[in-house]
Chain A
Amino acid sequence: MSGAILIIDSVAKAFGGNKVLQDVSFDVQPGEIVGLLGPNGSGKSTLLNTITGFESIDRGAISHEGRRIDQLPAHRIVRSGVARTFQLPSMPTRMSVIEVAMAAATGHHGLWETLVGTPAVRRSEQAARERAQMLIEQLLLGHARDLPASALSGGQKKLLGIVCALMPNPRLLMLDEPTAGVHPNLRQDIVAALKRLNEQGMTLVIVEHDMHFIRSVCTRCVVLDRGHIVASCAADELASNERVLQAYLGTGAATTSASKPSMETA
């Protein structure tokens, strides 16, 4: 698996006595769309936080494109090409939607560069504005461009979070429940946008509960339960995987539940 873009190797994380991740290992290959599933409290968000440097790990290793990233601060991981979104994004009140998006552009200008405003700075500012405008329109926020970012609805904030994550054109994008709370019509657009990005070469890891979404987007699913990985299989195989059913429905569920499990609402 040397070609993997992301390698999670025996990662463990505990908060106090609560072992949230225990010996979690899996790889993500370039070009994959991996769905990360599991019941509430299974450790999905913590895993996302450890990969992106928002939480440290107690044991194990995380590598991105062959480089260890588990000791790096979060901002360095982002700069190495890993972007993420938040489950419940909160947005600033005194910045407009487009300004928030522009802030996510690469090429951070320092104090002097901003002060002097060299031609290079002006060009990159122009490029940031154009890219932000394009992405905002792609994710259907064009009409809200000049509104305070905090005035957006929960679903729209998620979209803006995706816009921000896409601004630096990352090679690996991690999304934390991108469609929860988003209008169904908009979900189709998000699905289409994510597929398009994937075709252009972006690798995606998506934490999600919605099975329609997972079936239509993910090429592979990794299922977590109480800090362990219990399955890694295609989305279609989930329903027939005994350990997955146990994780969602409890012990014995695999034998007693109907042929169609109720994971749609899980």
Chain B
Amino acid sequence: MFDFLVSSLTVAGIYGLMALALNLQAGYAGLLNFGHIAFAGLGAYATGIVIQSGGSPWTGAALGVALAMALGWGVARLGRKLASDYWGIATLAIAEILRTVATNEGWLTGGANGISGLPSLFDAWQRPWNAMGFLALVLGVLAIAALATSRLANGRFGRALRLMREEPSLATCMGYDLRSLKSRAIVASAALTALAGSLYAHYMSFVGPDYMLASETFLLWTMVMIGGLGNTAGVLVGVLLVQAAYALVPFAKDYFHFSSDLAGALRLGLIGAILLVCLMWRSEGLVPEKLRRIA
């Protein structure tokens, strides 16, 4: 039970990083990125490929972050010609293309089988301390990311993002270059997400194309929307809630004796139901964005 809790919290922490990063784009800058998981996929695959060829975890993470930032920059450039909703569809397409490439370029990515046998970062430590160490690392990075993103949001950069989200022409009137603002928000978000992807690869000791399924992006969107778009605390609440729902299903399965297939479907159904209830009752999320007090 203890192991299960540690494992659930670690995964929640990693999803938390990705959700905070998505919040930077979706919550503050108002960008509908439906291919967000591609950044995590790049982080995870870079880690897998670098480690497979004898590199260090640091190199893997750094390469993943660099690649994701480059992709983020490219995705942002795409937005120059497209209205925001079409841009959202384009991001979904890019993530799907990357997933297809990962599935088919077996020489590099291991194809559908992925890359397994990646070292967890604390292999040298005794059980359960290795898992505890990893959890501490994830929570530490999560705390830093939460502080950093909320600081960004409250400062002048975030103020510009939030103004752009709601009143783009007013922001232009104030001399803000909206393209540059969007690019920087996406690139920063991509970097954080790739780091999370790299951690995930280490934690699972595995990378596969399923990491980049579109449903993963929607899981992140669900977390952010249930918690509260544009609110750091809200995002973390959303992550915890969705992760708790995920973790509870196996217990329900044992208790009610239903099959594993049904359990899998139930997980997704449960998330959908939570999202639906949230949208009907509290469309702004459980912990909605508040006005920022300026002393």
Contacts and interface: CB of A to CB of B under 8 A. Distances in A.
Do A and B actually bind? yes
Interface of A: 52, 54, 73-76, 78-79, 83-86, 89-96, 98-100, 102-106, 108-111, 113-115, 117, 121, 125, 128-129, 146, 148, 161, 164-165, 167-168
Contact of B188 (A83, A90, A111): A111
B163 A95 contact: yes
B285 to A, nearest CB: 12
A23 to B, nearest CB: 28
B128 interface: no
24 contacts: A54-B169, A74-B172, A75-B178, A78-B173, A79-B175, A90-B167, A92-B165, A94-B162, A94-B166, A95-B163, A96-B291, A96-B292, A96-B293, A98-B294, A99-B292, A99-B294, A103-B160, A103-B171, A109-B156, A111-B157, A114-B152, A114-B157, A115-B151, A125-B156
Contacts of B166: 92-95
B174 A78 contact: yes
B155 A109 contact: yes
B151 A117 contact: yes
A123 to B, nearest CB: 12
A146 B293 CA distance: 7
B78 interface: no
Given A99-B159, A148-B291, 20 more contacts: A74-B172, A75-B172, A75-B175, A75-B178, A86-B169, A90-B167, A92-B165, A94-B162, A95-B159, A95-B163, A96-B294, A100-B170, A103-B171, A105-B156, A111-B152, A114-B151, A114-B152, A115-B148, A115-B155, A168-B175
Contacts of A74: 172-173
Contacts of A164: 170, 173-174
Contacts of B294: 96, 98-99, 102, 129, 146
Which 10 A-B pairs rank lowest in CB-CB distance, beginning with the nearest? Answer: A114-B155, A92-B166, A78-B175, A114-B157, A109-B156, A104-B174, A79-B175, A103-B159, A75-B177, A74-B172
Nearest to B162: A95
Contact of B156 (A75, A85, A114, A148): A114
Contact of B163 (A83, A86, A103, A146): A103
Nearest to B159: A103
A100 B174 CA distance: 10
B190 to A, nearest CB: 13
B289 interface: yes
Contacts of B292: 95-96, 99
Contacts of A89: 170
Contacts of B188: 111
A96 B290 CA distance: 10
B158 interface: yes
B156 A92 contact: no
Nearest to B295: A129
B160 A100 contact: no
A102 B175 contact: no
A117 B163 contact: no
Given A114-B157, A117-B155, A94 B289 contact: yes
Contacts of B160: 103, 108
Interface in B81-139: none
A108 B172 contact: no
Nearest to B163: A103
B176 interface: yes
Interface in B244-295: 289-294
Given A74-B172, A75-B175, A75-B176, A102 B162 contact: no
A146 B291 CA distance: 8
Nearest to B24: A111
B287 to A, nearest CB: 14
B198 to A, nearest CB: 21
Given A111-B157, A115-B151, A117-B151, A92 B162 contact: yes
A123 B177 CA distance: 23
Most B CB within 10 A of own CB, among A73, A111, A165:
A111
B289 A91 contact: no
B230 interface: yes
Given A79-B175, A92-B162, A110 B169 contact: no
A96 to B, nearest CB: 5
Most A CB within 10 A of own CB, among B148, B172, B292:
B172
A161 B169 CA distance: 12
A74 B177 CA distance: 8
Contact of A108 (B151, B156, B290): B156
A92 B152 CA distance: 19
B159 A73 contact: no
Contacts of A128: 156
Contacts of B162: 92, 94-95
Interface string B176-213: 11100000100010000000000000000000000000
Most A CB within 10 A of own CB, among B162, B173, B177:
B173
